[in-house]
Amino acid sequence: MAAGGPGPHLAGGRLTIDLAALAWNYRFLAQRSAPAQAAAVVKADAYGLGLAPAARTLWQAGCRRFFVALPHEGLALRAVLPEAEIFVFNGLFGAEAAAAYRRGRLIPVLNGQSDLSVWEAHGWDAPDRPRPCALHVETGMNRLGMTGEELRALATENALTQALSPLLILSHLACADTPDHPMNRRQCESFQALRAVFPEIESSLANSAGIFLGGDFLCDLTRPGIALFGAMPVGGMENPLRPVVTAEARISQIKRLRAGETASYGAAPLARDTIVAVAAVGYADGYLRAASGSGVPLRKVVPGAAGFIHGKEAPVIGRVTMDLTLFDVTALGPDAVAVGDHIELFGPNMPIERVAEATGTIAYELLTAIGHRYHREYLGDGL
């Protein structure tokens, strides 16, 4: 078992990252993607969980193609996986960035004219082909990506010059988390028409949620990210994935407060006598302030998040602060919770999707906000 972050006796929280579950999720998603291949998206430090252990595990599970967002993430990944094919979504910022791509044999995703110029002028050449790259075409996300016209112009020009070697054409779905949204079909049809502009190369459309749309959304290569890490990207479906991350906070103190006393910033008055467990994790650890509990002016309607301890749920009470969060453990009875116990913030007993909903956000944000103050334990490293 590998470890990371501050030592277990020094940290306010601990993260347990189950690499066997990550490998299982990859294999599951690869099966769901067949006959397409499944890549892995490991941007933002593998969604906050640690790039190196996640990438090694995915490689061992059979993944050979990876996507990151930025060139420095690509270089970090190259150091871990010398033989992987590494694509970078959005970071061909200029000649100096291109030098990093050369150094790391990173393949840029070209998103428009400026990327095309940079790569033609500063890209690297593989032994059998010049300037390998992927092409990102817009179908409705309207974030990055070249227009259909730009794509056709590139095809015409490149047929003459052969300056670039596109390996993959991709687009990104805007509404895949809502399977019956009409946008999905529209984007899929636009993409099928555009991929025909480069008929001889591979195509990729589906992120995690897109894999669950199946059929012609799968194309040749899928790009799952969040689902690898156990969160279900599609609403209203049972989650077939294994939970990968458990986040827990150490209980630092227990307080017995009377009705009418107040809790945390803003002095939320307590409606009844309350046993409060003070946990050593706060918004600086990605336990967002929007998870604050009832009785708090921040949230008048939604009750806020809850933790899980000794078989029961414990709601957040009062405002989440930078380093500390209060939980109402009254329902567990007196003396049920002790200093030094850990309360689960999310994990197998408290689904991250539920915490995200109570926080007014999505699992993606909770994972990528985790930060570096947790003690980390990686289960199944080197499996």
Check 43, 283, 374, 378 and give the catalytic one: 43
Nearer of residues 133 and 263 to ligand PLP, judged by Cβ: 133
Provide the minimum distance between the beta carbon of 231 and ligand PLP in the complex, in angstroms, as a whole number.
8
Check 26, 255, 265, 300 and give the catalytic one: 265
Told to judge if 265 belongs to the known catalytic residues of this protein, a careful annotator would answer: yes
List, as one string, the DSSP characters of 311-359: TEEEEBBS---SS-EEEE-GGG-TTSS-TT-EEEEESSSS-HHHHHHHH
Counting DSSP H helices and E strands in the chain, the numbers are: 11, 22
Nearer of residues 43 and 56 to ligand PLP, judged by Cβ: 43
Known binding residues are 143, 322
Instruction: Output the CA angle 20-68-147, nearest 5 degrees.
Output: 135
Provide the minimum distance between the beta carbon of 326 and ligand PLP in the complex, in angstroms, as a whole number.
32
List, as one string, the DSSP characters of 259-273: TT-EETTTTEEPSS-
Provide the minimum distance between the beta carbon of 236 and ligand PLP in the complex, in angstroms, as a whole number.
16
With contact defined as beta carbons under 8 Å apart, do 2 and 381 qualify?
yes
Give CA–CA dist 71/300, Å, rounded: 43
DSSP structural state of residue 106: -
- Residue 312, judged by CB atoms within 10 A of its CB (0-12, 13-18, 19+), counts as middle
Provide the minimum distance between the beta carbon of 247 and ligand PLP in the complex, in angstroms, as a whole number.
18
Local structure of 138: helix, strand or coil: coil
State which H helix or E strand residue 115 sits in: helix 113-122
Nearer of residues 33 and 330 to ligand PLP, judged by Cβ: 33
Provide the minimum distance between the beta carbon of 295 and ligand PLP in the complex, in angstroms, as a whole number.
35
Residues that bind ligand PLP (CB under 6 A): 41, 43, 89, 172, 207-209, 223-227, 233
Nearer of residues 221 and 305 to ligand PLP, judged by Cβ: 221
- Return the residue nearest ligand PLP (CB atom): 225
Known binding residues for substrate are 143, 322
Nearer of residues 33 and 292 to ligand PLP, judged by Cβ: 33
Dig out the tokens for 285 from the structure: 């650890």
Catalytic residues: 43, 265
